[in-house]
Structure 1
Amino acid sequence: MGARVDGKVALVTGATQGIGLAIAETLAASGASGICISGRNEERGRQAVEEISALGCPADFVAAELAEANAPARIIKACTDRFGRIDCLVNAAALTDRASLLDADLDIWTKLFDVNARAPFFLMQAAVRAMRKQGTGGSIVNILSMNAHCGTPELAVYSGAKAALAVLTRNIANAHRFDRIRVNGINVGWADTPAERVMQAATLGLGEGWLEAASASQPFGRLLSAQDVANLAVFLLSDASGPMTGALVDQEQWVVGSRN
């Protein structure tokens, strides 16, 4: 069975660029009957809707700041109002601000946990309620990070938020397996995305040559691509992966526990 999502309606957060957009476009190419995307940038959102619609799939954009407490319920409502249902949810939106134990303050802790853990939790809550009302099950994929296993020192708060979402992924999968709602997560390794390019080249000051150097350091000679993650996410969302639930998949070139 191929990874198809024929007739399903999907909501993807953080889908105006990078991994989220790649997932939304791959869902459209895999038979989705409707896709709702959310993000902060309205111009990129409109462009993403045009790209998805060009693939033959109706699409809608919801401008939202996930740090706002009412955003998750509003986004899910916008999806069900537009398409009449929700079958798939992808929590791809996240902040990657750096902060170690000694550098972190309450503001960055609150910022990262609000967007990377609290918002996905309440998006899942609203989506599961809608899926249970529909009575046809559903599938959720949370985009996590290899840093949830431990994380580098400067990603202490980010790693903690992703680890919290990893536990919630399994907890919610367990709680709603008899509703036939599957919940899985992808621990994404180092990926080449628009946000990562800005982070490495500008924010961290590594310049334009960072990607070539980083790629040369990887076992397969390149970083993960957004499409790599999208392919796995759509498989997990599709019936091809059923009845798999509660899985946290390491999508990475380095094996956890090995002495690299």
Structure 2
Amino acid sequence: MTFRELHYADEPFLLPNAWDVGSALAFAAAGFPAIGTTSFGVNAASGRPDAQGAGREATITLIRAMTVLPVFVTADIEDGFSDDPAEVAGLVAGLGVDGVNLEDSAAGRLVDPAIPVAKIAAVKRAAPDVFVNARVDSYWFHEDDTVEAVTRRALAYADAGADGVFVPGVTDPGTIAELAAAIPLPLNVLVVPGLTLDDLQSLGVRRVSTGSLPYRVAIDAAVEVAQAIQERRDVPSATSYAASQQRLLDFARLTASE
């Protein structure tokens, strides 16, 4: 099954999002067929706020490490780290990934849809086999957050050549169902508390991303370990040092052979 075909499988596929090589290795070891990156996690791991455009090099470094793994890889490249469609297209063409997320916002606000339209078209000309997941940030920033407005943007991105549409922040089941019915491309949403993969499938969702949730849970878990020790409580179990080290040794051999 190709990365594109995962979006048309019998059930939605879950895309875990890694923030470093260690998390990517863990997701691959768990058997997930595709792994994405999370811009929040990548930026946070380096002490930077998200969506400021500063994570370009860290993202590229992580992606280049991940592409040696036996999984499909899709990159969260925010808005492409540039206003120049040709520069965005060149970046994507050089990443060697199976897919990218390309968002239609900058500095916490929606941009004119003509801007992402130009970027999507340029990317598809430069890298036609890359699955472009066009992200509509209306619900994320509570701006033009209606089914009609989101659908207009999604249709414009579809016409430009997008392969899927990502609508983070949408959680209402009725709204999700309306968007899935109105958008002629696979609909991607973030994990919705209270809704299972089966629930989301019944609403028409084709792809579910974890986003930064695993990173944030991991940070909470790290604090919980320290607090448990301090408070004389039982320490939670974890993957052994030996198993974790073996993943890194295997990864080192894999990268050395490339």
Q: For this structure pair, what is the TM-score category when the shorter chain's length is used for normalisation?
A: 0.3 to 0.5
Higher Cα radius of gyration: 2
Q: Which has the higher contact order (CA 8 A, sep 6+)?
A: 1
